[in-house]
Amino acid sequence: MKKIFLLLILGCAFTAEAQYGNGNGNNGQRQNMRRTQMMQMQQEAPKPNFDVKNYLGIVTYDIKKAAKKSSIKLSSTEGKQFSTILTKYNKEIKDITRINSFLLKSTKEMVENFQKKAMKTRDFSKQPKIQKTMNETLKPISKILKEEDLKLDTTIKALLSKKQYKKWIKYNNKRLYKFFDKKE
């Protein structure tokens, strides 16, 4: 009986030692390996990726998705007009971006170069200057885009019912971050 009791106690002790360890066994080695791996893997900061088109609000519409979100059937006459309006708008926006592609590309490069330098040196003191020059160079494009958006909004508003127009505005504000003026 004493032998069985002694074996039971020793078995429990070995089981507890195997499960929990005392910090310097296998468990400690795993923790040390994790620490060294984390130290070896130096996390690099993400590369700057400034999206000029997103900044300006340049959007080309997916006609089927826009019609679906606005509750318009493309097979109807209203849907066909909606489709031609958006097709024309998309073409004009693509022309604007193509004409100003050099300006958009140079602005993107300017901002990304500043971000790279600022991340290396941790000096963000020139950021207001960069923002000011970026806004000044992109202001003419922004004006043209706003005019096109207003034209689109007035034609869409004349075409759709109030309920459909509300859905159109909701789709633009939530999904595409386009804000049309609510002049009613």
pLDDT tens-place string over residues 138-159: 999 999 998 998 899 899 999 9
Q: Which amino acid makes up residue 149?
A: D
pLDDT tens-place string over residues 84-140: 999 999 999 999 999 999 999 999 999 999 988 888 888 888 889 989 999 999 999
pLDDT tens-place string over residues 45-65: 677 788 888 888 888 889 999
pLDDT value of residue 184: 38
Q: What is the pTM of this model?
A: 0.68
Q: Where are the beta strands (DSSP E) in 19-120?
A: none
pLDDT value of residue 107: 92
DSSP-H helix ranges across the chain: 2-20, 26-40, 52-56, 63-69, 77-99, 101-121, 127-159, 162-171
Angle at 134 between CA 129 and CA 140, to 5 degrees: 140
- Cα radius of gyration rounded to whole Å, the chain: 31
Q: Which residues contact 180 (CB under 8 A, 6 or more apart)?
A: 149, 150, 153, 169, 172
